[in-house]
Each structure stands twice: as structure tokens, then as C-alpha cells.
């Protein structure tokens, strides 16, 4: 059978990111974004071997943007488009793995949408549009939460009344599953260890950030919870705060629940701490110029990350390595070195030259000689979604 191509689609409320991947290639044949959907300046941008291109799609919604995009993809795939993989943020407890999209699957995704009211409805819009445009093409939902369904109850339960779990699904779910899965497997390959018999700590550090304990290819714990707000300091998200903060702000400042949510989601994290930016690159530059807010934001980010990794080590039988990934993890030698410096009791230490070398590209080991492995591994969530999709296609 000729190698098949998979289109990976990631819908946000006003954007669609897409990538066309070959069955065996790591890098996409075509990738791009449709953004500002619903507005007069909506635009479709993509890149392929032919270079960068763009088309204005004024006022296009998700369906109209996909209707423009799919013929481009088909032309690039030259008759080998085998299926579409949709990234879906929340699969609740219903989805422990990727799933072929049909009416019952759509209904189940709708049912868990209350757990991700900002994310799942946008995914559903994209899925419904793609299904109506290409009804005969197999399409698969790949969930950010599914990889973490292997967490044991002592890792996923909150210490709140049981009825909240039983009747309302209040528990820890975790996110970034495709990334944690992809990089932990890749780390095992790079170190010639069997993925199904090795243990990893993973730090996915992008605009959203999370840690994960991966044992024998399964997630045993992760830092995000019911929502992608729990855990680490992120670009604009606070991560963990005292749960008493909510009541305090409501009582003392008269804030509404929406104001608290908005502050913790959009005005906190690196941006809130630094008073300057949510972008680590800008903060590193400002720190070099002596900006106190940027300096503090980076210190808090790294200390909290190290604390989370130390906590995740409770879920491991042994430590085969710590993996850094995501835009910050793959590029910031400063964040890696400050974080690892807090993890002396795990016997972790970096080789400064190797750490400085792994910026903007090469994967590799960066630990000092005689210490447990520390790796930089570029994530490729699109590739993982394509692999999960391929696995469900009829042969």
C-alpha cells in the first residue's frame, strides 16, 4: 500500500492550526494556520515546499476556512489523504485513547464539554465542519487528556467530597498528553532503552506548562488537573495558588467568579509576576538588562518547576532521565540550568556546554558525567496525533 498522508487539525475559538504529515516523515509536507476567523481580516497562511503563501478569507468561519483549506491539502497529498486527526482538548473519563469519529463519539465529546467550555466547543465546530465536507474520509479524535487516564486514583483524586467526583467529574485529568507521550518515547529511543521498561520525568514548557511522570510508556501523574490551570507557572496562567484565594478575592475585593478566572488565566503567570511579558525570550533579555520583575518571574518559574518535578518523582520506580520540551524547554538553557540546580537531591547536574549547545534544534543529553540523564527533546504533537490516527485507519 502506498504511504498515506494524515491531516492534523487543531481548532481554537478563532483559529485552526493544521499540518499534513506523511506516514513515515517526521516533518509536515504542509502546515499553517487560519486565524482571526469570524473577523473581516480572517486569513489562511500556509507553508509547503512551494514556500509561504496566504489567502484572505474575510469573515470566514471554521467551516468556510476548512472548505478553502481542504482542496489545498488534497492537492498536496496527491490522492493519498488517508484521514484527518482532530486534536480534542478534553475527553473526560470517557476516552482513554484516540477514537474514530462517528455520531456516538461526537455525542460523548459534547457530553464532556462542560469540563472544557473554552476549548471543546471550538474542537467540535472543526470536527463537524470536516465531517460534513468529507463524510467518506476516516476521521479520528485524539484527546489531550487520554494519555493520563492511566493515573491511579491516589494521583487523580482531589480531597473534596466524593459526590463531586461521582456526580460532576471533579478530578484531575491532565493535558499535553500527546506531547508527554511523544517525547518520553523519543527519549527512550535516543537512550536505547525500551519505552515500555523505562521511567521519565517530562517538563513540557510552552505557553502552557506541565510536568509528567511516565512509567513504562504510561502516565502515572501530571501537574495539570481538572483544567489546564493547575500546577506550574505558565505564560499568563498562575498555576497553583491557595484555593482560599478565590473566597478571599470574592469577600474582600467584591470580585466575581469570572473576574477571578480571568485574572488567574490571562493576567498571571510570567506576565503577572514580571509586569512585562508572558514570553520567556523577552523576559531573558529584560533580566540581562537588570529588570527586577523579569528576574523574579524566571526565579519563581524555575523553582516551582523544580518543586513539581521533585513531587512527580514520587510516582517513579527509578529515574532514567528528565526530559525538557516545548518552546522554553527546547530553547532556554537558562531555565534548564536554574531548574536542575534546585534538584541536587535527585543527584541531577548539567554539563554547561552541552546545555548551551541544545538550543533551537538538536535533541540530546545535557547532563554532567556520572549524573542521571537530562535530555532536550523537540516535541511533535502533530506527529503523535498523526500516528494515533493512522493506528485507527482501516488497512
# residues contacting ligand ADP (CB under 6 A): 13
5-11 sheet: strands from edge to edge: 51-56, 43-48, 30-35, 16-22, 5-11, 81-88, 139-143, 99-100
Note whether 332 binds ligand ADP by CB under 6 A.
yes
The CB-of-281 to ligand ADP minimum distance in angstroms stands at 4
The catalytic position among 41, 61, 102, 144 is 144
**Closest CB to ligand ADP: residue number:** 327
The CB-of-328 to ligand ADP minimum distance in angstroms stands at 4
Interface residue with ligand ADP, options 144, 286, 326, 339 (CB under 6 A):
326
Q: Cα dist. 214→221, 278, 354, 373, 381 in Å?
A: 8, 28, 24, 15, 16
The Cα–Cα gap between 7 and 21 comes to 6
Measured from the CB atom, is 260 or 286 closer to ligand ADP?
286
Binding mask 252-291 for ligand ADP (x = CB under 6 A): ---------------------------xxx--x-------
Q: Which long-range contacts (CB under 8 A, 24 or more apart) does 118-125 make?
A: 118/13, 119/12, 119/89, 119/90, 120/88, 120/89, 120/90, 121/13, 122/11, 122/12, 122/13, 122/62, 123/11, 123/86, 123/87, 123/88, 123/89, 125/11, 125/61, 125/62, 125/63
Measured from the CB atom, is 50 or 289 closer to ligand ADP?
289
Interface residue with ligand ADP, options 191, 327, 341, 372 (CB under 6 A):
327
All 3 cell numbers of residue 337? 540550568
Region of 100-108, 113-121, 248-256, 324-332 interacting with ligand ADP (CB under 6 A): 324-332
The Cα–Cα gap between 55 and 172 comes to 41
The CB-of-111 to ligand ADP minimum distance in angstroms stands at 27
Tell me which residue has cell 518515547. Answer: 185
Binding mask 121-160 for ligand ADP (x = CB under 6 A): ----------------------------------------
Is 144 considered catalytic here? yes
Q: Which long-range contacts (CB under 8 A, 24 or more apart) does 224-231 make?
A: 224/172, 224/173, 224/174, 224/175, 224/176, 225/158, 225/171, 225/172, 225/173, 225/174, 226/115, 226/158, 226/170, 226/171, 226/172, 226/173, 227/115, 227/116, 228/89, 228/175, 229/264, 229/265, 230/172, 231/308
Region of 29-37, 258-266, 322-330, 348-356 interacting with ligand ADP (CB under 6 A): 322-330
Measured from the CB atom, is 96 or 207 closer to ligand ADP?
207
The Cα–Cα gap between 12 and 88 comes to 10
Binding mask 162-201 for ligand ADP (x = CB under 6 A): ----------------------------------------
The Cα–Cα gap between 322 and 310 comes to 11
The CB-of-82 to ligand ADP minimum distance in angstroms stands at 26
The CB-of-136 to ligand ADP minimum distance in angstroms stands at 32
Interface residue with ligand ADP, options 183, 328, 366, 374 (CB under 6 A):
328
Measured from the CB atom, is 212 or 215 closer to ligand ADP?
212
Measured from the CB atom, is 215 or 229 closer to ligand ADP?
229
The CB-of-325 to ligand ADP minimum distance in angstroms stands at 8
Of 195-234, which residues contact ligand ADP (CB under 6 A)? 206-208
Indicate the angle between helix axes 333-341 and 292-312, nearest 10 degrees: 60
Measured from the CB atom, is 15 or 207 closer to ligand ADP?
207
Q: Which residues, 6 or more positions from 100, have their beta carbon under 8 angstroms from its beta carbon?
A: 138, 139, 140, 392
Measured from the CB atom, is 202 or 260 closer to ligand ADP?
202
Query: Which residues are annotated as catalytic?
Result: 144
Binding residues for ligand ADP, rule: CB under 6 A, are 206-208, 235, 279-281, 284, 326-328, 331-332
Amino acid at each position: 500500500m502506498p504511504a498515506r498522508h494524515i491531516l492534523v487539525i487543531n481548532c481554537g475559538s478563532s483559529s485552526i492550526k493544521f499540518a499534513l504529515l506523511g506516514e513515515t516523515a517526521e516533518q509536515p509536507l504542509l502546515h499553517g494556520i487560519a486565524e482571526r476567523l469570524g473577523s473581516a481580516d480572517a486569513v489562511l497562511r500556509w507553508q509547503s515546499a512551494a514556500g509561504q503563501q496566504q489567502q484572505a478569507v474575510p469573515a470566514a468561519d471554521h467551516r468556510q476556512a476548512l472548505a478553502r483549506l481542504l482542496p489545498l491539502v488534497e492537492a498536496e497529498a496527491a490522492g493519498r489523504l488517508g484521514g484527518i486527526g482532530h486534536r480534542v482538548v478534553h475527553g473526560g473519563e470517557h476516552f482513554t485513547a484516540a477514537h474514530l469519529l462517528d455520531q456516538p463519539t461526537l455525542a460523548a465529546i459534547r457530553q464532556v464539554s462542560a469540563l472544557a467550555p473554552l476549548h471543546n466547543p471550538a474542537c467540535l465546530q472543526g470536527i463537524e465542519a470536516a465531517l460534513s465536507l468529507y463524510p467518506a474520509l476516516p476521521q479520528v479524535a485524539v484527546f489531550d487528556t487520554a494519555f493520563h487516564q492511566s493515573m491511579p486514583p491516589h494521583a487523580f483524586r482531589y480531597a473534596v467530597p466524593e459526590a463531586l467526583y461521582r456526580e460532576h467529574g471533579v478530578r484531575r485529568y491532565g493535558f499535553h498528553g500527546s506531547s508527554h507521550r511523544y517525547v518520553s518515547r523519543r527519549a527512550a529511543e535516543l537512550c536505547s532503552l525500551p519505552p515500555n521498561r523505562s521511567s521519565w520525568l517530562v517538563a513540557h514548557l510552552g505557553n502552557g506548562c506541565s510536568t509528567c511522570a511516565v512509567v513504562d510508556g504510561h502516565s502515572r501523574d501530571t501537574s495539570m488537573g481538572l483544567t489546564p490551570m493547575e500546577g506550574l507557572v505558565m505564560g499568563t496562567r498562575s498555576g497553583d495558588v491557595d484555593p482560599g484565594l478565590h473566597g478571599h478575592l470574592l469577600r474582600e475585593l467584591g470580585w466575581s467568579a469570572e473576574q477571578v478566572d480571568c485574572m488567574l488565566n490571562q493576567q498571571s503567570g510570567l506576565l503577572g509576576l514580571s509586569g512585562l511579558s508572558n514570553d520567556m525570550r523577552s523576559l531573558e533579555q529584560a533580566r540581562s538588562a537588570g529588570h527586577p520583575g523579569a528576574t523574579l518571574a524566571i526565579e519563581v518559574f524555575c523553582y516551582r518547576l523544580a518543586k513539581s518535578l521533585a513531587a512527580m518523582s514520587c510516582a517513579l520506580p527509578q529515574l532514567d532521565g528528565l526530559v525538557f520540551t516545548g518552546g522554553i524547554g527546547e530553547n532556554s538553557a537558562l531555565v534548564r540550568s536554574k531548574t536542575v540546580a534546585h534538584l541536587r537531591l535527585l543527584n541531577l547536574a548539567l554539563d554547561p556546554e552541552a546545555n548551551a549547545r541544545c538550543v533551537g534544534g538538536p535533541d540530546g543529553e545535557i547532563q554532567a558525567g556520572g549524573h542521571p540523564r537530562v535530555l532536550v527533546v523537540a516535541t511533535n504533537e502533530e506527529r503523535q496525533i498523526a500516528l494515533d490516527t493512522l493506528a485507527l485507519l482501516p488497512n
